[in-house]
A and B are shown apart, each in its own frame.
Chain A
Amino acid sequence: MTPERWRQIEENFQAAADCATAERVAVLDQACAADLDLRREVESLLAAQAGEQGTFMAALLLESASSLAATHEEDLTGRRVGAYRVTGLIGEGGMGAVYRAVRDDDQYHKEVAIKLVKPGLDTAFVLRRFRYERQILAKLEHPYVARLLEGGTTADGRPYFVMEHVAGQPITDYCVQEQLPLPERLKLFRAICEAVQYAHQNLIIHRDLKPSNILVTADGVPKLLDFGIAKLLDPEFIPEAATQTVTALRAMTPDYASPEQVRGEQVTTATDIYSLGVVLYELLTGQRPHRFENFSAGEIERVICKTEPRKPSAAVEPTTAAAAKLRKQLAGDLDNIVLQALCKEPARRYQSAEQFSEDIRRHLAGLPVCARQDTLTYRTGKFVRRHKLGVAATLVVILSLVGGIVATSYQARRAERRFQQVRKLANTFLFNIHDEIQNLPGSTKAREMVVTTALEYLDSLAQEAAGDPTLARELAVAYQKVGDVQGDPYAANLGHAEAAMKSYQKSLSLAEQLAARNGGNLEVRRTLAQNYFKLGTVISETGNKLGAQATMRQGVGPAEALAEQPGEDKDLVLVINYYMRIGNTQLDTGDVAGALGTYRHLQLLSERRAARYPSNRAKMAVAFAHSNVGEARVALGDLTGAIESYRQSLVILEALAQKEPSNLGYRRGVMIGYLWLGHLSANPRFFNLGDRAAALGYYRKALPIAEGLAVTDAKNVFPRSDLAGAYLDIADILTEDDPAQAADIYRRALAITRSLLEAEPDDFRFLRRQAFCLRGLAAPLERMGDRQGAHQHLRQALETFEKLAARDPADVKMHAELQATLNALGDFALRAGDTADAQEHYRRAVAIGEAAVAATPSYLYSQWRLADSYLRFGQLHAKLATGSGRPKAERAANQREACAWHQKTLALWDRWSQQAVSSPFNTSRRDQAARALAQCEAALTALGN
């Protein structure tokens, strides 16, 4: 273009472009009348001008800029990475760059390859997973697999992997260069299959097999690179990875990618088989099985998932004699073998790299190949899969539930579908959980992920378990462990009681079926004995104490039978735990004497065990037995005895906690010990000695422990529940002397409890605590003048206790709390001057109390609260009798009524001293009743009766 011509074009273009579109034709008609070429030129430029100015350019630039960000790699040659000095760049790819490097301190200067992960991947996650994966990858020791040596992060925080450096060339190039004859290529390929098979046996899938990852050294030795690396960087395993980054991060070569990879589906060993098929196709024909029109995601998916590749023989054009010969060699067996590996459906490919290789061997040896017998193979494969379920379940248990153990070679490789599920679980467990779970604190949330995944397919496995005792037994154990994570109340758990019960029941029914068939099997018996216990415990925690006790009693027999056999501490422990829980339910249902007996037996067993198998845990069990005895003593009214028991327990626990400060169980034990000493000293919810200063002292020792535990594992519900409990207790004591502070602390307890209830709205313990808090908070509110608030809280507490008491009519504790709450409401009404309302509440309390005392005469709390109600009635009538100006006869009638109530009160306290142990708690109350009665009788006498 000459400058003159260009000037002409520009002149006309600008003139026309300045006009409205409609006028342009006229302008051009005039200007370019003589020069048609010019006119065409200007018109085409005007046509190209469409759109807003600059958008065309911006779009072009944006594409390039984005791409730049995705691939930019600064050359690190000459710099240091870890202990290595980078000597050169080998290549740059989607995941990052690969450098050649030598160890700085290595006098032999052995070369390594360093793969530096591209910035932008979630570094922390990649590293965390790498630390774990390294253990597996480091185990891959095979002459055809390049070793992974180590990994770390650079100074600027990028992960890198150090690998054995392989001086070789891609297998495709090697074959071309060496002009390797067909049988040699097949043999070389079989060596690769061997390496892949080895990795699969170690549960490692390559995911990115392609010629550039399969190098052949000058000696003709193949080496597979990057085993397991692809997964470390695959966003599929990065939970936070949003979809928009998936495309950007996925490091995959479309030519060698399987349909499942392109679709973003589960990757299995079959994925590697597919990629091997592509590599073989290329080795045989010099071409890749698929051709892409472009590299858009849609085109790639269309080609890989929907287009059947040509047969390898058909891909070879018989243009030369050699090509024609090759075509003949490929037709038949080799076509079938390659296409079998390239099946779209993973299940229809070779079951393993070994099988793939074996078929090639058969071909080389002139034997018939499996690839021909398509349907039969498929059916056989299915049969094999069914019978490998047991193996798969073993993996589940070992990998997912014991934790930290890395299973190696299980012959699960053929059980493709199951293997896949197992693998999925294993991955979830190992990578999402492993690091967190090593130390128990803080692990709860992580464990939830396992449970969700585990249950999903345990259920599907269970349907197929019938008739396979091995699988059934393993599943029984698996369900049990899942139940533990969901709701074992004595371990960090997720607080899903209902779900836990279901899991335990599934485990039990499996174990019972097995025991019926094979009663003598120790493991089955143990599973059975454990399951009854766990199930009973969870049932108990949901509030159904009698149901829990019945379940426990079913299991204690089998447990004792187990413990009679010599040698196993854990069997004796189970028996001890059974007695503890049975005692608990006895206590909860008012069988106090029974409970004390059970607990004393428990104490004996614990001491025997501690002597037989001395350990910290055994000592802790003795401490717990003491506190159990203490609890039963409380229930029997033996306050001083109980304090003695709790002190004994504390001595042991404090020593243990001091020895092992990281043990949360000991610390929790100490906390509970102090709480109990506080309760017995002055807490109005318990029988107590009325020493508030002492109570406060004990509670203040418990509180920091509770706070510490709640911080240690913020996701676990129980430490938080414990903390709410400690707040409640301390507020109960503060109410009297510092209502403002008490109210504040009650509210803290309530806030925690509410958040716990959000997750588990029907949880018995949380609801009970909430009711205690509401009832407790009413008192300081009233003292501070908020009468309406106080009343509201009491009503809410009442509603909750009513709901809880209704859950289990045999739960005397809840009924006693109902009594106490009604008494409190009555007292409130009385202070408000509403005598009728007060009487209504007391009457309900009396009705409940009398029924409870009749049903469970041993339960002193019911008597105490009933005696309180009686006393209130007595006081009420005595007060009415004092009203001056009323007729003497009416007043005398009131006094007589008052006397009758006080007599009933006195009778209850007398009954206490006969049936239970006396302490100032009951004797002072008996004295109070006696005095009240005496006053009424005196008043009656004064009235002339």
Chain B
Amino acid sequence: MVTPSAYNVTELLLAWRGGDQGALERLMPVVYQELRRMAGSRLRRERSDHTLQPTALIHEAYLRLLGQDHPEWQSRAHFFGFAARLMRQILVDHARRHNVAKRGGGRAKESLDEAVIYSPERAAGLVALDEALDRLAGFDQRKARVVELRFFGGLSLEETAAALGVSVGSVRRDVRLAEAWLRRELQA
């Protein structure tokens, strides 16, 4: 496993904050791969309950990639927001590949185990959610962001509020409506 040095990650994050979109592109695969690897290994270790705690994972990724000795790194929430987007991408990519498999794609995707764990309507669900979230962002970007931070990033209401610079009450109301809206979209 290629473990990028903390220095690089910090530098890339700083560059990205400074407006360098290229830094984000270089940073993405590093964090993406780390998160994905951790998500996989965590679940394998705890196969019995199949729980995934995105918050814990992102915390862990943060520590691994940046180390504990970065008190000056104030935008922890920033990193979390970033990681939340990556988590979303990881999970949705995965679901999307599965949908392809279910439609009779590549030969290596035929196993029953996956079929049982992962029934088609649910796979469709997560991809549909992703698409719906994009639609939501089209007319209410903040709500889409709240959902991303809250669920894919596993941030608490308070953390979400802090990351977006709004009140906790607003976040709660945002979640309420966004969830209802998404649910209705997915039921349709």
Contacts and interface: CB of A to CB of B under 8 A. Distances in A.
B95 interface: yes
Interface stretch (B4-12, B60-68, B71-79, B122-130): B122-130
Interface string A252-264: 1111010000000
Contact of B98 (A1, A67, A93, A245): A67
B61 to A, nearest CB: 15
A6 B177 CA distance: 11
B112 A252 contact: yes
Given A45-B177, A91-B108, A120-B44, A60 B122 contact: yes
Interface in A237-284: 242, 244-245, 247-255, 257
B163 interface: no
B134 interface: no
B119 A294 contact: yes
Contact of B117 (A1, A17, A54, A67): A67
Contacts of A17: 176-177
B95 to A, nearest CB: 5
Interface string B129-142: 10000000011100
Interface stretch (A295-303, A398-406, A490-498): A295-303
A3 to B, nearest CB: 6
B169 to A, nearest CB: 11
B118 A63 contact: yes
Nearest to A212: B107
Contact of A57 (B52, B110, B140, B147): B147
A68 B111 contact: no
A222 to B, nearest CB: 16
Interface stretch (A69-77, A125-133, A519-527): A69-77
Contact of A295 (B119, B138, B152): B119
A295 B180 contact: no
Contact of A64 (B42, B126, B172, B176): B126
A93 B91 contact: no
Nearest to A249: B113
Chain B interface helix/strand/loop/mixed:
helix
B115 interface: yes
B188 to A, nearest CB: 10
Interface in A52-67: 53-54, 56-58, 60-67
B3 interface: no
B111 A252 contact: yes
Interface in B159-188: 172-173, 175-177, 179-184, 187
Nearest to B122: A63
B15 interface: no
A297 B41 contact: no
B58 interface: no
Query: Taking each of B36, B40, B44, B119, which has the highest tally of chain A beta carbons within 10 Å of its own beta carbon?
Result: B40
A566 to B, nearest CB: 63
Contact of B177 (A10, A74, A90, A93): A10
Contact of A93 (B110, B120, B184): B110
Contact of B43 (A69, A250, A296): A69
Given A54-B175, A56-B183, A72-B39, A63 B112 contact: no
Interface string B82-124: 0000000011101100100010001111111111111111110
A315 interface: no
Contact of B112 (A45, A58, A257): A257
A3 B141 CA distance: 11
A98 interface: yes
A225 to B, nearest CB: 11
A287 B46 CA distance: 39
A3 B140 CA distance: 8
A714 to B, nearest CB: 30
A712 interface: no
Contacts, number: 193
Query: Taking each of A58, A90, A93, which has the highest tally of chain B beta carbons within 10 Å of its own beta carbon?
Result: A93
A476 B138 CA distance: 81
Interface residues of B, number: 63
A540 B13 CA distance: 82
Given A49-B176, A295-B115, A295-B119, A68 B91 contact: yes
Query: Taking each of B43, B111, B187, which has the highest tally of chain A beta carbons within 10 Å of its own beta carbon?
Result: B111
A417 B41 CA distance: 42
Contacts of A70: 43, 113-114, 117-118
Contacts of B181: 45, 48
Nearest to A215: B107
Contact of B40 (A68, A211, A300): A68
Contact of A253 (B112, B126, B150): B112
Contacts of B116: 247, 295-297, 300
Contacts of A10: 177
Nearest to B125: A60
Contact of A294 (B40, B95, B121, B150): B121
Contacts of A91: 106-109
A30 B111 CA distance: 56
Contacts of A247: 113, 116-117
A245 B41 CA distance: 15
A119 B106 CA distance: 22
A90 B112 contact: no
Given A91-B107, A257-B112, A244 B47 contact: yes
B125 A250 contact: no
Query: Taking each of A44, A68, A170, which has the highest tally of chain B beta carbons within 10 Å of its own beta carbon?
Result: A68
A294 B123 CA distance: 12
A242 B49 CA distance: 13
A263 to B, nearest CB: 13
A66 B151 contact: no
A296 B183 CA distance: 23
Nearest to A297: B116
A69 B109 CA distance: 15
B110 A253 contact: yes
Contact of A62 (B50, B92, B175): B50
Nearest to B43: A69
A13 B180 contact: yes
Nearest to B50: A66
B37 interface: yes
A871 B133 CA distance: 103
A300 to B, nearest CB: 7
Contacts of B47: 69, 120, 244-245, 248
Interface string A1-18: 111001000100110010
B98 to A, nearest CB: 7
A74 B129 contact: no
Given A65-B39, A69-B47, A44 B184 contact: yes
Nearest to A247: B116
A74 B180 contact: no
A538 interface: no
A64 B151 contact: no
A54 B151 contact: yes
Contacts of B109: 91-93
Contacts of B52: 61-62, 65-66, 69
Contacts of B147: 57
Nearest to B107: A212
A53 B117 contact: no
Nearest to B113: A94
Nearest to B91: A64
B97 to A, nearest CB: 8
Contacts of A58: 151
B110 A69 contact: no
Contacts of A14: 173, 176-177
Given A45-B184, A91-B108, 15 more contacts: A2-B139, A47-B184, A53-B176, A56-B182, A65-B39, A66-B118, A67-B98, A67-B118, A68-B43, A72-B40, A92-B108, A120-B44, A212-B108, A248-B113, A295-B115
16 contacts: A48-B183, A49-B180, A57-B182, A61-B54, A61-B126, A62-B51, A64-B95, A64-B118, A65-B50, A69-B52, A74-B33, A212-B110, A250-B112, A253-B111, A296-B116, A300-B116
> 7 tightest CB-CB pairs across the interface, nearest first?
A91-B108, A69-B43, A94-B111, A295-B115, A65-B52, A72-B40, A212-B107
